[in-house]
A and B are shown apart, each in its own frame.
Chain A
Amino acid sequence: MPYFTEAQARSIIRETYESAKGEDRCVAQALYTLQELSGLPEGAVMLAFGVGNPVRHAGLSPGDVVLDVGCGAGIDTLLAASRVGPNGRALGLDMTPRMLELAAHHAASAGFANVDVHEGLMEALPFADASVDVVVSNGVLNLSTRKSRALAEMHRVLRPGGRVCLADLVLSENLPEEIVKNPTALVA
């Protein structure tokens, strides 16, 4: 049983990201190459909070419709947008209004016309069945108290033959009980 209810977890996550400051490029520099980062708005880079580089492994082609689940300030959405080109679309989904505004702003300032942002939950994606070619996600699945549901939703919105490419953290062993019960340990 999760130690937080779904509503509590979401509320904590939303509050965290409503006030998150991008203080440096350390996260982004550890995950993305200089070439990948060049040309991206500073704000998107400073507010990158992913844990991997899913776009690199997603095999995106020009014309693809790609959905970034938990897009945050948009760094992966923008990388995806540049890969799918003007005939493709990069959809960014997030539940934190501030992050969505930033993602939209970053897309506009970088000159991407093929980006749309949507507010919603990964457990109830606001997209039709079989409507996207690729789903990417970076460090967000663990934030869900209903991972199977979130994965089922990704499966639902992907067209047959579509691909998912997801980055997240895994534990190599079970965490000691004290850590999981610690009040600051939401993600654990």
Chain B
Amino acid sequence: MLRKKFFNVGFVGVDVADRAPFGLTALARYPLFPPEFVDFVRAVVPADRHDTLVYSVVLTARNPIVREGGS
């Protein structure tokens, strides 16, 4: 879905350069994810999905050389 967003705004050659699981324990280190929230997610999501719920990805893409479209 994220790749399509890149494509839709005009990027080409959208590629996933890296993809890695990002466990809930890692989320807890970030200020935007307060401990209460992480505990809440842990409680609501089945244990076997804790480590595969979230992934970090690195996407790369290019601007085309010839600008497409009008104007």
Contact = CB atoms under 8 A, between A and B. Distances in A.
Q: Do chains A and B touch in the complex (CB under 8 A)?
A: yes
Interface of A is mostly: mixed
Interface residues of A, number: 50
Given A165-B17, A170-B55, A184 B60 contact: no
A182 B40 contact: yes
Contact of B53 (A16, A165, A172): A172
Contact of B54 (A30, A170, A186): A170
Contact of B45 (A19, A176, A184): A176
Which of B22, B26, B36, B60 gathers the greatest number of chain A CB atoms within 10 Å?
B60
Given A176-B44, A182-B40, A168 B54 contact: no
A155 B9 contact: yes
Given A151-B9, A171-B53, A165 B34 contact: no
Interface string B24-52: 00100111111011001100110001001
A19 to B, nearest CB: 8
A165 B58 contact: yes
B30 A27 contact: yes
Contact of B59 (A27, A165, A171, A185): A165
Contact of B5 (A13, A16, A139, A147): A147
Contacts of B17: 57, 165
A145 interface: no
A187 interface: yes
